[in-house]
A and B are shown apart, each in its own frame.
Chain A
């Protein structure tokens, strides 16, 4: 085949362009640290990376929800601890009042203390978290218990449900609670207990101090049961947070493997491409190869 001037030039130019393209890609990979610059660099990896980003955003959202759940449960837990202490206080007062030899002045003082405990319990159960009630079930904006015009604490105003927050695809945790499941008729019982203490009613008829003690015992059981449920949920959230962090780490590793350049490999490839480019350039510059013209004088 005849070898023409154009042919040598065209082939050489194509080789240089090819080598320069490979070099430029490798160089971009090294300088940006990224393997994917456009979807066409690796279409299926790009689609996977989109999936991983979305997964991470989802995990971030669940992590944020878990944090929120944890802080609410911590508040609920402290409310219940407080309530339990109050109930124990009331038990101590009632036990002290449960004998017929106390002078009236002491009975009056104990009755006042019982009423004070009742008021403290009301404050505790009406605890809010960022403007919503924790113990009104799903009635976030309604206080669980309220005094009427006469100062008497009315019935439970919330419902039996719970606001639930998703902390994973298939997992949600209750963050509000049925206040009546903790209190029951405790406020009424405390009112009656104060009356019984004041009257020194230890033997009946009617509501005796012992009746009050029994009710306090029941309320104590309810509050500790609820607290252990909250404690279990708190543990759950802790584990969930650790798990979410773990899953996210795995997703980040997958994404970076897809998206980021393997530096050692990219640099090696860049050096190879550089060598190839230098060789192509040298070869083409040599293609002013000896011509017959050089030998004619």
Chain B
């Protein structure tokens, strides 16, 4: 009698187990599109027999295990850092490349206009209009340089804003991870709560990896200790360490971790990308632009000062001399020349009082072909072409490498999905499995019940 009743309770536990299995399938299917959800597998164990008159205690539910491969998760995180860096660089350069304009309608047009004006002056040295035109074109050239410089500087400030915003996001995510770590301590991976928290913390760590390259060490309880930039801690156990920003002399944010400046140590992730744009690429473009402006001003002034103006006086400086740093943004025609009647101060002649001796105007017009910039290697328009080439090449390289990284990331995500993702076919098969299991156990229950009926009938 006790054997049969025991079998009844065994059958009811088995029905529970099959129902639990179906429950897990339902949960998996429900979360087929939930980001960060890892497929759960119902885990059962056979209960061994306690005496020789029984075959066993049936089945017990151990729990639902979340399917994860730590190694693949880690590789996805690392690759995600790289992909986000290239993506960020590519996006910023996309904006910067627009600011250099189209060929024939950008700084190169202003350069040509400036030298053309001197050619016209060499043609008609006694024309007040031609003199005025030289001054106007000089001003236009200064403005064109300043425009490009201000676009590039503006892009630097945009990048700086993103640096600050990203630091805030990093601090928010690390605080979230620390809090998840706290909740995870004391939960088991096979409880629904534990599995859910693990999914959450893994998602948060992946998000963090998109901002900055990290070294994440998974703890036994499923939480993470995270450091970055040569071992500086971001999260240890239940504590997170916030990054702080200070401003440098130019008003750009520097990033500190635990009091040490780590700005130069961050290479990957969207933060690494935007720092590279702000601190390496844009300063390089600006320095090149400054060099071209500085060289043109130097050469033009030297020639202009060797000449004589319409009054027969020695030529003054044409452009106001300025230091190399920031030359492009401050390039301006000597105010004496832009004042009313200043056109007469334009020096076209190489001999005082001989207007038809136009060697100076001709030499100034010929500067367009002279290798006067980039250390005597490039003409002004060539130097501009080289700068445009550099911006275009950097963007094309970032775009190509972003494409490659995205492809690698996709493959890794496929691998990750192969472990953690929900396959509807598999879930359908499982559904069938648990349904059949339930049916068989129900039949077993009925059979035992009928046997009990038989036994009770014997007693009538």
Contacts and interface: CB of A to CB of B under 8 A. Distances in A.
A1 B416 CA distance: 11
Given A40-B97, A166-B365, A140 B125 contact: yes
Contacts of B414: 7, 10-11
Interface in B411-425: 413-415, 417-419, 421-425
B451 interface: no
Interface string A108-143: 000000000000000000000011100011111100
Contacts of A176: 356
A5 interface: yes
Given A58-B368, A61-B116, A172-B362, A141 B355 contact: yes
A58 B354 contact: no
Contacts of B422: 4-6
B425 A291 contact: yes
A68 interface: yes
B134 to A, nearest CB: 13
Given A1-B418, A5-B424, A10 B126 contact: no
Contacts of B425: 3, 291-293
Contacts of B415: 1
Among B93, B103, B399, B417, the one with the most A-chain Cβ atoms within 10 Å of its Cβ is B103
B180 interface: no
Contacts of A253: none
A47 B126 contact: no
A244 B415 CA distance: 64
A202 interface: no
Contacts, number: 195
A176 B119 CA distance: 17
A51 B382 contact: yes
A4 B100 contact: no
Nearest to A54: B381
Interface in B203-237: none
A132 to B, nearest CB: 6
Interface stretch (A84-92, A156-164, A233-241): A156-164
B392 A138 contact: no
A11 B410 contact: yes
Interface stretch (B320-328, B383-391, B440-448): B383-391
A50 B369 contact: no
B125 to A, nearest CB: 7
B356 A50 contact: no
A50 B421 contact: no
Contacts of B390: 43
Nearest to B358: A163
A46 B384 CA distance: 11
A218 B422 CA distance: 109
B354 A47 contact: no
B413 A10 contact: yes
Interface in A189-221: none
Interface residues of B, number: 68
Contacts of B366: 166, 169
Given A40-B97, A43-B393, A169-B366, A293 B428 contact: yes
Contacts of B98: 38
A284 to B, nearest CB: 15
B278 to A, nearest CB: 19
Given A138-B357, A164-B358, A293-B424, A50 B381 contact: yes
* Size category, A interface: 35 or more
Interface string B343-370: 0000000010011111000100110110
B175 interface: no
Contact of A39 (B351, B355, B395, B421): B395
Nearest to A158: B356
A281 interface: no
Contacts of B418: 1-4, 7
Given A49-B103, A172-B362, A2 B116 contact: no
A50 B395 contact: no
B46 interface: no
Contacts of A2: 417-419, 421, 423, 426
Interface stretch (B16-24, B104-112, B140-148): B104-112
Interface of B: 32-33, 93-94, 97-98, 100, 103-104, 108-109, 111-112, 115-116, 119-120, 122-127, 351, 354-358, 362, 365-366, 368-369, 379, 381-382, 384-386, 388-393, 395-396, 399, 406-407, 410, 413-415, 417-419, 421-426, 428-429, 431-432
8 contacts: A10-B410, A39-B388, A39-B389, A40-B392, A40-B393, A58-B369, A140-B126, A140-B355
Given A6-B417, A53-B109, A68-B124, 20 more contacts: A6-B422, A7-B421, A10-B413, A40-B93, A47-B388, A50-B108, A51-B382, A51-B385, A53-B112, A54-B368, A61-B119, A132-B355, A138-B351, A139-B355, A141-B355, A166-B365, A166-B366, A172-B362, A293-B428, A296-B431
